[in-house]
Amino acid sequence: MAINSTGLQPGQGANEGNNNIQGQLSSEVRDALSLISLRCVECLRLYPALEAGRTPRYRCDCGSVLDVEIAFQLPSRRAQQSGDAFFRLATEQEHMPAAGAVWRQIFDDRASTPPIWSISTDKLLFDYSGVWRYRDLILPAPERYIVSRPEGNTGLYPVGIENCGAGRAGHRQLGIYAGLERFFLKHEGENPTGSFKDRGMTVGVTMAQMLGAKAVACASTGNTSASLASYAAQAGIESIVFLPAGNVAGGKLAQSLAYGARAVQIAGDFDAAMSLVEQVCNEQGIYLLNSLNPFRIEGQKAIGFEILQQLDWQAPDWLVLPAGNLGNISAIGKAFREAYQLSLIGHVPRIAAIQAGGANPFYRSFMQDFAAYRPVQADTIATAIKIGNPVSYPRARRVIKACDGVVEEVSDEEILAAKAMIDRAGLGCEPASAATLAGVRKLVAAGIIKRDELVVGVLTGNLLKDSKTGIPQAVTGEAIEPTLDAVRSVLLQ
């Protein structure tokens, strides 16, 4: 079946002959998008979010990637109370402590709604979502377009030697392994489809709805496709996923197919699939939902906002995460910068990005002070970060420079050892996520992260995503007779 038999109509839109996916946009969508600009990360050129008669823009004319810039507005009731209705977020905005208190109060009020949402109260749904709770800083979408499960509200587990608390002796092992007194793990594998991608996807598919897209697509090492397929199915939009054949963990592939995505297997790696999907989307007018799309990044900022809120708006010293295509570090870095500019927090955390040694172009570039960048042929057991030419490199480089961050690499053996620790502590995660703990341990041992600093590590995906790598594949021993005596003799061995 040809791709444009999915219900897409190439050429539809304001400009005949152009594969414009924007149908007739409603005035509320036009109004919402008029608040948004897209700025090139390299040459700083500014574009409107909506350019009449053209397909959505994912890149600057210079070829680099784009960041969303929004004129942040306080919700109107509070704006009247505070008398300070409008925040223009330029790159260097003055720190305004009073405004920070107002924003914190808004987000805390929304978070205090009961942690069960009812289908009869849409309002509760948006406030309960760990993404849309921060909607004023993410996307001013008209409510009827929002596609939400809802997502977010993931656990922030205290696992440090000092802060793990009573009843967490198992979790304390992770603090001992890392060598940290105050250490938290943010488990993004607790999102609806089991990875952090849901935070970007709820915003990406909402944008697709606003633009009237009939089909959405992505290239994926598995988690993005599972998330895309789920949110697109909820919205009733066709989804197409480009997968590197043989390099997608079973659980992720199963999700994508079960949710009804059309899977296009590419006999190549993720980087080849990524390049193809970008070309196909531009050619066919399909809405592209990789993290190249700057609205995906906006949604993933919510990981940063939610961590800050769970820490009662105390910024950690370090945020550590695995890095592949470099979308997530770009998103969390942007969230921290904006939170600081809005005085939600008093300092910007340092970020440590951890790459697999066999898929480490960002690490190599960092080691040369970002003087050069060269893609690599990626090879690691952590398939989610098996990426040799990360799309968001310019965004991530800027984040590391701005926050005095670091990039570290870890071997597959270190990843597997860290994964075994996380699994046995009862949290569990997929292999790529364990790069976080492996990286923290290495950075603490090197004295870069200090033992008494406050550190948050992100676990990006659920244990069940990959039931093969680093997990015992069989119950040891023979099956025994179903008698008490037989059980006793086994347990007493």
One symbol per residue from 41 to 60: x for binding Zn ion (CB under 5 A), - otherwise; what is it? -xx-x--------------x
Residue 43 contact, options ligand PLP, Zn ion, none, Cβ 5-8 Å cut-off depending on partner type: Zn ion
Q: Which is nearer to Zn ion, 62 or 486 (CB)?
A: 62
- Part in contact with ligand PLP (CB under 6 A); list of ranges 16-24, 125-133, 162-170, 320-328: 320-328
Residue whose C-alpha is closest to residue 147's, from 239, 78, 61 = 239
367 binds Zn ion (CB under 5 A): no
Least distance (Å) from Zn ion to the CB of residue 125? Answer: 38
Phi, psi of 111 (to 5 degrees): -75, -15
**DSSP sequence for 196-256:** THHHHHHHHHHHHHHHT-SEEEEE-SSHHHHHHHHHHHHHT-EEEEEEETT-S-HHHHHHH
Q: Which is nearer to ligand PLP, 171 or 252 (CB)?
A: 252
Among residues 316, 461, 466, 469, the one that binds ligand PLP under rule CB under 6 A: 461
Residue 119 is encoded by which pair of tokens?
């289908």
- Part in contact with ligand PLP (CB under 6 A); list of ranges 39-47, 78-86, 117-125, 427-435: 427-435
Residue type, 66: L
Least distance (Å) from ligand PLP to the CB of residue 2? Answer: 28
273 binds ligand PLP (CB under 6 A): no
Among residues 6, 223, 284, 360, the one that binds ligand PLP under rule CB under 6 A: 223
Contact call for residues 356 and 435 (beta carbons, < 8 A) = yes
What is d(CA 147, CA 32) in angstroms, rounded to the nearest whole number? 16
One symbol per residue from 281 to 310: x for binding ligand PLP (CB under 6 A), - otherwise; what is it? ----------x-------------------
Among residues 125, 384, 418, 463, the one that binds ligand PLP under rule CB under 6 A: 384
What is d(CA 378, CA 409) in angstroms, rounded to the nearest whole number? 13
The edge-to-edge listing of strands for the beta sheet with 182-187 is: 156-158, 182-187, 454-459, 318-322, 350-356, 406-410
251 binds ligand PLP (CB under 6 A): no
Q: Which is nearer to ligand PLP, 22 or 224 (CB)?
A: 224
CB atoms within 10 A of CB 267: 9
249 binds ligand PLP (CB under 6 A): no
Least distance (Å) from ligand PLP to the CB of residue 461? Answer: 3
What is d(CA 377, CA 137) in angstroms, rounded to the nearest whole number? 37
> In Å, how far are 106, 324, 368, 425 from 411, measured between CA atoms?
43, 14, 20, 21
Contact call for residues 325 and 390 (beta carbons, < 8 A) = yes
Strand partners, 461: 195
> Which contiguous run of DSSP H or E holds residue 28?
helix 27-33
460 binds ligand PLP (CB under 6 A): yes
323 binds ligand PLP (CB under 6 A): yes
Least distance (Å) from ligand PLP to the CB of residue 477? Answer: 33
Least distance (Å) from ligand PLP to the CB of residue 340? Answer: 22
What is d(CA 443, CA 460) in angstroms, rounded to the nearest whole number? 19
40 binds Zn ion (CB under 5 A): yes
430 binds ligand PLP (CB under 6 A): yes
How many residues interact with ligand PLP (rule CB under 6 A)? 19
255 binds ligand PLP (CB under 6 A): no
Residue 62 contact, options Zn ion, ligand PLP, none, Cβ 5-8 Å cut-off depending on partner type: Zn ion
Decide: helix, strand or coil at residue 183: strand
Among residues 18, 26, 37, 64, the one that binds Zn ion under rule CB under 5 A: 64
Among residues 21, 68, 274, 326, the one that binds ligand PLP under rule CB under 6 A: 326
Least distance (Å) from ligand PLP to the CB of residue 219? Answer: 10
Contact call for residues 104 and 313 (beta carbons, < 8 A) = yes
Least distance (Å) from Zn ion to the CB of residue 395? Answer: 12
**DSSP sequence for 371-423:** S---------S-GGG--SS-TTHHHHHHHHHHTT-EEEEE-HHHHHHHHHHHH
Residues found near ligand PLP in the complex (CB under 6 A) = 195, 221, 223-224, 291, 322-328, 384-385, 430, 432-433, 460-461
Residues found near Zn ion in the complex (CB under 5 A) = 40, 42-43, 45, 60, 62, 64
